[in-house]
Copies of this chain bind each other. A is one copy, B any other.
Amino acid sequence: MLKRERHDFIMRQINLHNRVLTSDLVQLLNVSEDTIRRDLQELVDEGLLFKVHGGALSKSYHSSFDDSTVYARDSKIIIAKKATNLIKDGMVVLIGGGTTILEFVKQLPQGISATFFTISPLVAVELAKYNNVEVILIGGLFSKNSQVTYGGHVISQLSEIKADLCLMGTSALHPEGGLTDTDWEINQLKKAMLACSKKSAVLCISEKLDITLRLKVCPIESISYLVTELDNKHESLADYQSKEVNIL
């Protein structure tokens, strides 16, 4: 087996399991420990993974471990500030959950006057700090992972709402793949949210661009506004340009 093939194999394992053990690789690839160690070191040098005693971890795993809140916080604030321009007085806004959305809410101007429907308790609490904002929390089963309400009850209530704008965070975005997700319930939720809103805005830090996950929410064209921390002329956004999508 060629060195390149081994490297590919290791990266597949990393992407699949977020980690590899040196000992496992020795058995699977039938080479000596030293070879594996050298392979891992080379992949580290290329910045593709993170080495620890006993094996290696995926780079993303590492970054999310270290301190996720501080990690991408600056980017999220930039995104949030851009996105606040989308909210006009008197609007009815449907808003999701997640750290980016929460940061967005914190960046809203004090005097804002609008009606917000949300599935996120934390977002509701934060929105309640604005005097002229009406907050309606959509109730249902509460998800431990994503910290939002979900399930049939939520979907059914969403179907009764007609919002001017839907604001949501992203798991992954891809020029062809569109908006995708890994969790079935969240996927259903996002679909329902998009369905009841005239326009939609997606807040997305650049590192979640060009990734496709298993479950599709909608194609790129269904998104009205894409907000990233990058300049809207940035090359990595070129593929997302279309007459439907407005890049902020």
Chain A contact residues, CB within 8 Å of chain B: 2-5, 7-8, 11, 19, 21, 52-55, 57, 61, 65, 121-122, 124-125, 127-129, 131, 134-144, 147, 149, 154, 157
Inter-subunit contact A140/B136 (CB<8 Å):
yes
Given A139-B149, A141-B134, A142-B136, the answer on whether A3 and B65 have CB atoms closer than 8 Å is no
Inter-subunit contact A11/B65 (CB<8 Å):
yes
The interface residues of chain B lying within 8 Å CB-to-CB of A19 are 2, 5
Interface of A is mostly: mixed
Q: A2-B55, A5-B19 are in contact. List 4 more A-B contacts (CB 8 A).
A: A3-B52, A134-B141, A137-B141, A139-B154
Inter-subunit contact A52/B136 (CB<8 Å):
no
The interface residues of chain B lying within 8 Å CB-to-CB of A65 are 4, 7-8, 11
How far, in angstroms, from A139 to B129 measured CA to CA in the complex? 18
Inter-subunit contact B53/A3 (CB<8 Å):
yes
How far, in angstroms, from A27 to B54 measured CA to CA in the complex? 22
Taken together, the copies of this chain in the complex come to: 2
Of the candidates A55, A124, A141, the one having the most CB atoms from chain B within 10 angstroms of its own CB is: A124
How far, in angstroms, from A143 to B133 measured CA to CA in the complex? 11
Kindly list the 4 A-B residue pairs having the minimum CB-CB distance in the complex, ordered from nearest: A139-B139, A121-B121, A135-B142, A4-B52
Inter-subunit contact B136/A125 (CB<8 Å):
no
By beta carbon, the residue of chain B nearest A12 is B65
Partner of A2, one of B5, B57, B135, B157: B57
Partner of A125, one of B128, B135, B147, B157: B147
How far, in angstroms, from A171 to B126 measured CA to CA in the complex? 24
CB distance from A7 to the nearest CB of B (A): 8
